[in-house]
Chain A
């Protein structure tokens, strides 16, 4: 993985493309489409952007910008077992080892020019300081001009929405100036329509997961929505959503929903490198992750005639934006609607916004009758991961359930 990623994405898309043609499964299709997004980072027909995690990808799509969020890179490197060398490189450069490893891996990857050089760097003030700092530091390293979306906190007011919509305008002009790609309001309308269509299907999918037993495994929707966001606003997003829905519905209709003794909520991100936690939970305890915190459509449909306003409201009301109160309410709602028995928070090392909130989340969920365990895992850095210790703690937690 120390070489340029173009060959990796080409290979991934090539092999998965064949498999999808043979048999289109939901996870396979999601991986295939994700690989295609990776390919766009090296395709001259697209502008190349590295971005923050919660930015309006629909806008990029309408401007032919191939964009990935920086945490995607860290997760991908961890998933392929190659994050350690990039983390070590960033640390050797002087990057603090106490920070988020998603970001540190990205710095290492940028230093090794793993993804080539971006044309655009678009950060946002949500969800964390580290993500934005990473975008700005990559800008220093590459000489690429960055752009920052400053996301106001809820509650939604007209002046906040107007301010953010104004920033979207600035952002599109920044993209036009640096790449020559044009913003077309008519394409944006179409993108909003497809985004709404995909959201509606995903909502339906999530409704099925509320059934008992849920017609999914713990990994069916692993990292789903956070990656799916990259497909929002395009036909492929609708296709992926429909495939997941039809597959899940088929499981339900056939009566083959995997059995479950315990239903779990996973808080924030999954552990990205290879590990046995989920399998162990399923096999030993019949415990199934039925909902991930970030798999949640919390926003209303975009107004196709005024999509930027809807995107602004979506960003402002993101559960990880602003005071914790909003996020706690969402967690309680998910716990209730999915009838979960317990919650697992990996408490990703270096994630200040999560680690600072973990006791409050635990207290809040406990108030709703749902115990939560904090694992203290670095989700991207396998170097200090000792599975035996984690499983011992989880064992105690599961027995308590």
Chain B
């Protein structure tokens, strides 16, 4: 697997703003005239991040810090962080001293999804909007915001449709390619991403019409901020078919329901984001496990591969319970703790052994 991948640079002609956490309403950045670019980290470590944070901090966060410290994120006009987890908020803290030239905003996202929390989140989104207006020297009107909301709703609908078609075997698209599409879509404007996704789906439909459905054991990949399509590619190279995923940067991106057009846009965004397919950071964490089980019931995989980046308390504290939920669902499960580097011989051996059992 490649180790030097860093595809953060978006369209060179478009000013970009970085974001990290799936609870960032990127519609606000788009409405401010920015291309919202989801930051993925530098897989090759120079050790700089280790000197800034302890070794037991999320490797994705440290990889982002590595990119930032190496000057690879200086193209950003601004960056939005959240309190998604302890590691993310510390990323914000350290960013301030590592990349002082890129303005940063810390968005606090509630952990409950009730009405009072949505109102509180809407108030924080108003602060986020004000920061974006000042930082990017623009005015975000309600009309602009509604336009961005519609654009992202269309994109999410297209991506969700792509997932459904894959799960049903209606298109010929490897899971690794789907992961790439998701990642690319989160680094470009919603209009460009929509066009790209639609073209990819059309081509995959044509391939399916020309050939047979993919064969091999059907896998569902799940986990936290696993953004490396090489993981799926490795399983595919051993004959498996990755039919679906439940990654933060994967299908959970398209799980945000279209915000209600009949209420003020910030309030609509607040409600929609808090009620998306949840990260285990959210208080109603059972919803995370139950949604996963529902996804398993819908996609009927032969096995589930849980790939979790190390030191993610939100996920790892839950693992005994998620493991039990998956066992109850009667599905074979492989749990891997990753370190945000690409694959290893050990991982390949475990993958092969797992596939032999299903």
| Chain A interfacial positions (CB closer than 8 Å to B) | 93-96, 98-100, 103, 125, 128-130, 132-134, 136-137, 140, 146, 148, 150, 152-153, 157, 159-160, 163, 166-167, 322-325, 347, 349-350, 352-353, 355-360, 363, 374
Indicate whether A166 sits within 8 Å of B318 (C-beta atoms), given known contacts A136-B283, A150-B111, A357-B93: no
Q: Is the pair B317, A103 in contact by a Cβ cutoff of 8 Å?
A: yes
- B318 A163 Cβ-Cβ under 8 A: no
Q: B313, A356: Cβ atoms under 8 Å? A: no
| CA of A270 to CA of B286, assembled, Å | 34
> Is the CB of B158 closer than 8 A to any CB of chain A?
no
Q: Return B18 CB to nearest CB of chain A, in Å.
A: 18
Partner of B106, one of A98, A132, A153, A349: A153
Residue of A nearest to B127 (CB): A157
Chain A residues closer than 8 Å to B137, beta-carbon distance: none
Contact between A125 and B90, CB atoms less than 8 A apart:
no
Contact of A325 with B316 in the complex, beta carbons under 8 Å = no
Is there a chain A Cβ closer than 8 Å to B170's Cβ? no
How many residues from B make CB contacts under 8 Å with A? 46
CB distance from B99 to the nearest CB of A (A): 14
Q: Is the CB of B320 within 8 A of A94?
A: yes
A360 to B281, CA, bound (A): 25
Query: A129 to B90, Cβ gap below 8 A?
Result: no
Interface residues of B in 52-111 (CB under 8 A from A): 52-54, 56-58, 61, 83, 85-87, 89-94, 96-97, 106, 108, 110-111
Stretch at the interface among B115-123, B145-153, B349-357: B115-123
Check A148 against B85 for contact (C-beta < 8 Å).
no
Quick one: CB contact mask for B34-58 with A, threshold 8 Å, 1 for yes? 0000000000000000011110111
List 17 other contacts, CB 8 Å, given A140-B321, A352-B85, A356-B53. A96-B317, A125-B111, A128-B86, A132-B111, A133-B280, A146-B283, A150-B110, A150-B117, A325-B93, A347-B54, A353-B90, A356-B94, A357-B93, A358-B53, A358-B54, A360-B52, A360-B97
Digitize B306-323: 1 where CB-to-A-CB distance is under 8 Å, 0 elsewhere: 000011011011111101
User: In the assembled complex, which residues on chain B have CB atoms less than 8 Å from the CB atom of A360?
Assistant: 52, 93-94, 97
By the criterion CB–CB under 8 Å, are B320 and A99 in contact?
no
Known A324-B90, A325-B93, A359-B51: A152·B108 in contact at CB below 8 Å? yes
11 inter-chain pairs at a CB distance below 8 angstroms, sorted by A residue, are A93-B320, A96-B316, A98-B56, A98-B310, A133-B318, A146-B283, A148-B111, A150-B120, A150-B283, A356-B54, A360-B52
B181 interface contact, C-beta 8 A: no
Question: How far apart are the CA atoms of A94 and B324 in the complex, in Å?
Answer: 10
Assembled-state Cα–Cα distance A159/B121 (Å): 11
